[in-house]
Every structure is written in structure tokens, then in C-alpha cells.
Structure 1
């Protein structure tokens, strides 16, 4: 469930995690999953399918997006801006950024978006999962985008393992010397709570994490 606490704002779960009070009902779990999936699709991959206008930095008007979703999803006839904000503010991965009446996704795009205004990486070391078969190739050639517009890096070994297990049971973790890379002029940006993005990472900054 997604609820709203009068004192602490939106939250996921039955009760406010800060004060323990039962807040006002906003959406059930099914609605949260469906709306979140639709929002991510629009903001990362196919705004044109919903006739949503997006600027070069990925921003869209929340009101326009709410209206577009309602036109195509009859089960969301009740949708308002507050529901979109509630999804964004409680997203555990930090996939959204809200400014005023606008919203955007901050990583995992397959459409061309200028994200250069995101903050720089705030850590010296980052991590990336590969399969055993890919290790030697990546250590020799470096990291390049595959199915997204950017290379996506993790801020912890645990998150890298989690991401890697989507593709393979036993991912190999590579260590990225982010401090040295940024010192050399490589732009690495913080795009989520534990997600960092770059255009590419040269092999000289990579090593196998042991």
C-alpha cells in the first residue's frame, strides 16, 4: 500500500515508518506497480506512445502525463498529479527527479536524453557486474553502453551483485577507480540512490574485485 502521513508525507506500507501512524490511503499495491511501470515506460522509453511532450533533458509535465495515462488506461480514471508525486517520492531506487510540476527519470533510458545536470559521483570506487565469459574482454576493452544510452555503475558490491544476478547466477564484480577516472576528466554522474552513469569507462580504470 502507498499512504500519506499528515506529518511525514508519502510512504510505502501499512503505517508511516517514522511515526508508526496509519495515514491516508493513496493507492493499493497493484495500482502502485501498474502506475510505476507506466511512468517508467513513458519517462525512459516511449513518451511518444502516450503523446507526452518531453524536453531534451527528459522533463515532462506531471499534469500532462497524468492526463495521457488516463486517456489510455481506463482503470486510472482517478489519476492526479499527487499520485505521480507519491510514486516518485517513495521509489526505493531513486529513479525519479521532481522539480516543481515536472518529473523525469534519472537513468536507464533508451531514448536520447541530456542528463549532464545530474550531480557528480560522490564516491571514489564503483562496481560493475559481468559474466565469467565477459571478464577478459571487458578488462581489455573497457565498458560501453549495451542496451541503454549510458554505462550504469553501482555504488556497492551488494548492488552490483543484485544487478548482475539478473543475467547470471554468479556474476563477477569489476572495480572501477572512479576517483582516478574523474581526475582524468571522465564524467561520472550520480543518477539514483546507488546508481551512477557514464558514457564509457576506459579499461585502465577497471580491475577484478576480489
Structure 2
């Protein structure tokens, strides 16, 4: 499968599984974020651009398996997005207490977050990375400008009452973060393990 086709499939999976399950006749998403592939694939093929070039289950599996960010899960004939939802789901994460900084990868176009904080628009949670390198990979996958890596003083944020959740795919999510906890990251840092 070529890269353009994989990108279209990935973006459509994100849009439907994270933000718009009820559009165009919709799909049923359970409280854990799963929907049955047997009805999901035919539903996708009613959406553009798949009305002209239908997507197959094999293509979806290839995109999910090849996604370095591990944004999706296929299990037991069902599929879900792990995070980034604009509606409430229970993914099955565990409480996480950071033992140092966490990171957020974006681009220079979003530099204003250093002044205004990391907020959410449609998404309910902010997604963070364990390391500078991981956040840089996320930033490089965003179209457009130069990468900007933001360091989050996560340990202080947790001490001030914020809660963090470690998802099964390794992502860390939390509520919006104020600017006083953010600085531009200029150094690589080690992976931080959750406290026992």
C-alpha cells in the first residue's frame, strides 16, 4: 500500500473512531471505544474517498499494525482508537505518577501554547510523551512547520493535584495544562517509568 493511501485510511479511522461515530448512519461504539469490524468496514466504504476506492479489512489491519504511535487496536473482531476522543470512553488505563518531565510534540505554528497552556478542543485529554525523542517523532509526523518540543514539569503538576493515566498503548493522558508548567525542551531526556 502506498503512503498516501495509508495516510487517508489512518485519518479516516481517527475521524470516525475518535470524533464522529454517529455521522452518515454511524457506527455503534461501546463504552471501551470498540466497534465491530464486520459493520465498521462497510460503513467506511459509504464515506468519501472510499466510495470510489473501497477500503478492505486487510488494508485497515496493515495501517493499524504499521502505526508507530499505536493509535488503534484490533482485538476479537473489533477496532478502537486508544485516545484523542471527543466523547467519553474507558480505555482501561492505569494511574501514572511521573518521576520527572514529560513532553509534548507539536510545530512552531503552535508556539503560543507556551503562553496559553496545553488545552483541548474536540479532544477530552492532552496526550503526552515519555521522552524528548518520542515527542519529536510525534512532531515530525505533523504536517507543516519545524518541530517544537515542549517540556512539561509533570512531577510538579502531579504534586499540585493533576492526575495522569497510562494507556495500554503507552500514551500518557491528562487534563489541560497551564503555561506555568511548560518550557521549550532543548535537551534529550531519559524514559520515565511509572512509580510502583
Task: Place the TM-score, normalised by the shorter chain, in its bin.
Answer: 0.5 to 0.7
Confirm or deny: 8 A CA contact 1:62 1:84 kept in the other structure: no
Tell me: CA distance 1:88–1:122, structure 2 relative to 1, closer, same or farther (3 Å).
Answer: farther
Deviation sequence 1:52-75 (CA, Å, 0-9, x none):
111233211111101212344334
Deviation sequence 1:98-126 (CA, Å, 0-9, x none):
231221111223x2122452244486320
2:92 corresponds to which of 117, 132, 147: 117
Q: Which runs of 5+ in 2 are unaligned?
A: 187-196
Query: Where in structure 2 are the equivalents of 1:75-114 lying within 5 Å?
Result: 75-77=52-54, 79-80=56-57, 82-109=58-85, 111-114=86-89
What is the DSSP-based 3-state SS (H/G/I as helix, E as strand, rest coil) of the residue aligned with 2:29?
Answer: coil
Paired residue total: 177
1:57 corresponds to which of 32, 42, 46: 32
- Corresponding residue of 1:9: none
Radius of gyration: which is bigger? 1
- Corresponding residue of 2:6: 32
What is the DSSP-based 3-state SS (H/G/I as helix, E as strand, rest coil) of the residue aligned with 1:58?
Answer: coil
Shift of 1:153: 1.8
What is the DSSP-based 3-state SS (H/G/I as helix, E as strand, rest coil) of the residue aligned with 1:127?
Answer: strand
Q: Segments of 4+ in structure 1 off by > 6 A?
A: none
- Computed over aligned residues only, the root mean square deviation of the Cα atoms, in angstroms, reads 3.5
Tell me: CA distance 1:170–1:78, structure 2 relative to 1, closer, same or farther (3 Å).
Answer: closer
- Corresponding residue of 2:124: 149
Tell me: CA distance 1:170–1:102, structure 2 relative to 1, closer, same or farther (3 Å).
Answer: closer
2:41 corresponds to which of 66, 70, 81: 66
